[in-house]
Every structure is written in structure tokens, then in C-alpha cells.
Structure 1
């Protein structure tokens, strides 16, 4: 397994634990469909939350959350709509959160960005 994959998996594990501690109930991890993959799907109260986790070991390429650009938002939006329809949950409120995990040698930091972006339409 490459260093990037190990960093990603560790970040996802840390994010799931952090979300559970914050009161989220994890429904799915690494959910895959024909549109791609979403890291975590959870419930926060009566809201279905689609969570993208971004992990970094340094700031060389910028803050982790900045990697969730328009293309990624579009892909996550398609996956979320597919999930809600196939699970018959389309009557639920939904939102998109991002968890940024910094795994620097001087210490780890987790930042939850609730309602990080709106449902993206197009293409």
C-alpha cells in the first residue's frame, strides 16, 4: 500500500471516530456505486450527511479541505442522489460535510466543516 493510501485510510478511520464522538451515526464507509465513492455516509439527527475526508501529512499542497473542488463536489452530489434514491431516503434532509485531517509530525488535527458545499448540478 502506498504512503498516500495509508494516509487516506488512517484519516478516514480518525474521521469516523471523530464523527461518532460528535454524535453522528455511521451508516456506510467507502460506499461505492457507478458514479464513484464517498468516504462516509452518516446520520446527524434526522439529516443524512455525505462526508468527504481529506488527509495530508504536510501543507505542501495546501490545506486538505481545499482538495474538494467543483469536480469533486459534482461527483459527490451524483453519488448522494443515487444513494438517497436507491435506499428510499429521498424524503430526508441531506448535507455535505468535509473532514480535514492533518497528520503532521508535530501533531494531528481534525477539522469538521459542516455544510461545506451545496448540491452541485450540471455535466
Structure 2
């Protein structure tokens, strides 16, 4: 592996985020930020849905042997994403708008189309 070749799990995650962004855009959401980072962590996707903001955690797996991708978002991860969402809103000077926290689950099985599940208001 060279410095420019991502590790397989990173490439899988990137592919899942690409699929999730296209899916969300096709449902009418507008992607405002992707892979936004601060010292607290990272938000995968932040979208606009009308007058509201949707913070999306994208989970991608190549199989369901360890459960569905969405099952990887536990309570601690949900708390961290909510805190990151508050931080993103503050840094972007966005106040008094509805915020929803979604999970987009992407299952990439070899030889099959990607399976996308969008869990709106997941946490």
C-alpha cells in the first residue's frame, strides 16, 4: 500500500459516504458539509432540509456478519454526534432552527447493488 492508497476500510467508508450523499441529494436534501472535523471528532454529512438541518452519520459495511451498519451507532457515538452538531451550528452561526439526527446505513455486498437504509430521527 502506498501513501496515496487508502486502507480498505477507509475506501469502503468513503464509497459509502459518496453513495449516502447522492441518496440524500436525490431525496431533496442539500449537502452543506462533508467530513467536517474539529478536535471533538468528525461529522460525516450535514444537510439542509427546508428550514432545518440534518446531521447524518454514515455507516458502511461490506457484510452484515457483525450486525447492520446502523447498529454500530451506540449511545456514546450518538452523544458525540449531537455535541458535534451543536458545535457545527455554532461555528456556522446558525441559530433557532430544527435539527434532526439521521443514520444512513450502506451495505456493500460483493456483486450486488448497494443497499441504503435512511433512518430519520434515529437519535
How far, CA to CA, are the matches of 1:57 and 1:86 in structure 2?
Answer: 34
**What residue in structure 1 maps to residue 117 of structure 2?**
111
How far, CA to CA, are the matches of 1:86 and 1:40 in structure 2?
Answer: 15
CA-based RMSD of the aligned residues comes to 0.9
Which structure 2 segments of 5+ residues have no match? 1-5
Matches for 1:46-85 after TM superposition, within 5 Å: 46-85=51-90
**Greater fraction of residues in strand:** 1
Aligned residues: 117
How far, CA to CA, are the matches of 2:90 and 2:84 in structure 1?
Answer: 10
Which structure 1 segments of 5+ residues have no match? 118-123
How far, CA to CA, are the matches of 2:71 and 2:33 in structure 1?
Answer: 24
Cα distance, 1:90 vs structure 2: 2.3
SS in 2 for 1:104: coil
- TM-score, normalised with respect to structure 1: 0.92
Runs of 4 or more consecutive aligned structure 1 residues displaced over 3 Å after TM superposition = none
